[in-house]
Structure 1
């Protein structure tokens, strides 16, 4: 490794955002014998606060900027924060799919800090009146096109992530990708108008599950009659590390803050990886460290003279559901119900399992659900850390199997859809992972009846504005 490029996130207007992180990484890497000098560090300055700028524009700009580095060995490593992660990943895809139009420079290590890989629930608010007012006060635009990409369930982000899920293993080809993300919001930065900034299961901006590349693509499609069978594809294994207590930004606990020793140490551990065997070993080490962190779920937030506010940091899952039919037509008004038990019953879902729902503003048939994985999987008793004899939450029993019930808006007519349930024996819990995202495509059978197209030998004029629906066309 001879060159390390730092890439910032959305709405950044000053390189002060990097703080002392580049210098500290250089010092720690040099001490570890990695041979990184100050002359090998480059800081990005890209424009995301212009409403005309798209992700594709940033990819072209990034590729052009890399050509100007005149790298001695035609390779570099990268540390990317927040939106910087998707920017670099989109460049990697463009480089792979259109090699003649992009440089042949090779990225060896991509270390993403709190990356918005599956987007952010805050993106919709950034596009709204509050975001526009903040942008106006800062004399910049919101960056509408980049926010479109960042919105949960956007077609652009899903395209990139589904390519990753169904693609090959980068580590097998000598390219190593890492996700390091904080697991606590900075309570001092909480916005009382915007509760997402204090959302448990996130770093105050990016949900832990939305950063993680260990994702799944599940498809519910017609099996027989009106039942839906579940098919699942798992992404290649990616290194994923929780940075204890780190938030998305801020001087106190931000993941890029100068004092974030845990972040710097983790970055250097990633940079030391040189082969697939070492990468797999680091994945194992990160998994063990994450499991240990999950054993410390309780946070006591000081509330002045009052009793502290209790936060239980259960592992969460992000479920992004796309509702379409066999003709790829969006089903906007259909009801998507989660059910539990046998026989399935929506009233049997565990209390408090659904934390948030958000429909994509440009594709209303795409809904992102933030779920409490611990409550769905079943959880042991959680004791009060101040007094182990006291209970903060009693043990929770799993209500498996979990299934889906689809109730389309159009149940009759020449073209309609029938209500459908998941196939017996399938369990939605099998596709949900802790701190992970699952993209679920629900593909409903499209019923077309005789009467939509007829041939007749009656030559006298005949009105067919009210056709008679016949049987379903096979």
Structure 2
């Protein structure tokens, strides 16, 4: 069965050649290099729609099979987003031509790279040798940005509404490196990442919450993805070196890729357990106990309009003792990124390993949300109700809620519906005309 290779942002065909060469030596004639990676992802004019169209044109031109489950594919970084959009545009779950997919460091839920890539530094380092200098594919970077609405909407389709990365459709293996970059590249490094993509951003088994505050009593709905993927963190590799041929490190990667290309529906669960056990063994050997999770939060009102000015916090229920709340802010909460084009979307990064290793036991957590403008008559007669320890928290999490929420290596999407209240806008004016009926 032939294999398609698709590179990521700022990549090229050349970036995939070392991997293709190593795989060809192992698989022989069963692997045919298809140079579908010849797209200029640094061009500012390109969108994902353009890339999906170009991919379909190349697919037809190369006479690649379109019968269900008739070809395998390897993608790197943003190539995963291109693939998922192409699938969404042209196929249904029953007509997917992909049988197996191996994702290398996929930016399925964004990348920290965008914070640098769209700035001057990113343009100098990424756009230096490009035919249109100082362009880094700004429209594609909007998709790659942490907290991007596009990645959320895509996940709602292929992770929840019609999950396709499972034994019934595409047998998917996700491999990501354990190391950050050195030198100037260390500017991008974060805990639990390969220097560009967070471990939690790569995974395709997200969980979704809806916290509806617009009803009489706050309602919380939790939905788990229907995807099942094999997920492995491979030690010694970063976002760039995962494509390079490097002795013993490469042999571990090549072995995992080949397993991902040969797995069957009958052996897939065993392969998932192998990947899980190898990841657990690597994490146990670490000096750092950081285990991170990404939370993408969007806030809307009851009219589905975005709420762009808000503060979301988690506090310990015991109001007389703030040391656990302080611990959460200083050890668990690693940062928050506000999506540039829609500030109602934000990416929160939490160390759930630190959460479960807190110096004291969590009794309960209060999920608080304060949005502006606040509804506070008579000073503020148009605005949003406050949900905090002073009023009523948006969500009180008990131990089971915390265990369900605080899990590493995945993205958790949380949509909050906060009611907008209005008071005193209209008033009755007494009529001075006698309108009583005539007798």
TM-score, normalising length from structure 1? 0.79
Residues 216 and 87 of structure 1: is their aligned pair in 2 closer, same or farther, counting only changes over 3 Å?
Answer: same
Does the 8 A contact of 1:232 with 1:431 survive in 2? no
Residues 72 and 205 of structure 1: is their aligned pair in 2 closer, same or farther, counting only changes over 3 Å?
Answer: closer
Residues 347 and 408 of structure 1: is their aligned pair in 2 closer, same or farther, counting only changes over 3 Å?
Answer: farther
CA-to-partner distance for each residue in 1:388-426, whole Å, 9 max, x for gaps? xxxxxxxx4453533311122222344321112134455
- TM alignment of 1:18-417, pairs within 5 A: 18-30=16-28, 36-37=30-31, 39=32, 41-71=34-64, 74=67, 75-96=70-91, 106-135=97-126, 137-139=128-130, 140=133, 141-170=135-164, 171-188=166-183, 190-191=185-186, 194=187, 197-222=188-213, 225=216, 228-235=218-225, 236-249=227-240, 254-259=241-246, 260-275=250-265, 277-298=266-287, 312=288, 314-342=290-318, 348-349=324-325, 350=327, 351-378=330-357, 396-409=359-372, 410-412=374-376, 413-417=380-384
Residues 41 and 28 of structure 1: is their aligned pair in 2 closer, same or farther, counting only changes over 3 Å?
Answer: farther
Structure 1 residues not aligned, in runs of 5+: 299-311, 380-395, 461-474
Structure 2 residues not aligned, in runs of 5+: 388-392, 434-439
Distance (Å, rounded) in 2 between the aligned partners of 1:239 and 1:205: 21
Does the 8 A contact of 1:332 with 1:364 survive in 2? yes
Do residues 422 (structure 1) and 394 (structure 2) align?
yes
Distance (Å, rounded) in 2 between the aligned partners of 1:344 and 1:330: 35
Does the 8 A contact of 1:334 with 1:407 survive in 2? yes
Residues 263 and 403 of structure 1: is their aligned pair in 2 closer, same or farther, counting only changes over 3 Å?
Answer: farther
Residues 443 and 108 of structure 1: is their aligned pair in 2 closer, same or farther, counting only changes over 3 Å?
Answer: same
Distance (Å, rounded) in 1 between the aligned partners of 2:208 and 2:6: 28
Distance (Å, rounded) in 1 between the aligned partners of 2:363 and 2:35: 51
Residues 84 and 345 of structure 1: is their aligned pair in 2 closer, same or farther, counting only changes over 3 Å?
Answer: farther
Number of matched pairs: 409
Aligned to 1:335, what secondary structure does the other structure show?
Answer: strand
Aligned to 1:164, what secondary structure does the other structure show?
Answer: helix
Residues 78 and 266 of structure 1: is their aligned pair in 2 closer, same or farther, counting only changes over 3 Å?
Answer: same
CA-to-partner distance for each residue in 1:350-374, whole Å, 9 max, x for gaps? 3411112111111112221111110
Shift of 1:62: 0.6
Does the 8 A contact of 1:376 with 1:398 survive in 2? no
CA-to-partner distance for each residue in 1:423-450, whole Å, 9 max, x for gaps? 445535522321111011121122233x
Does the 8 A contact of 1:165 with 1:217 survive in 2? no
Distance (Å, rounded) in 2 between the aligned partners of 1:278 and 1:455: 72
Shift of 1:457: 7.1
Which structure has more strand as a fraction of its residues?
1
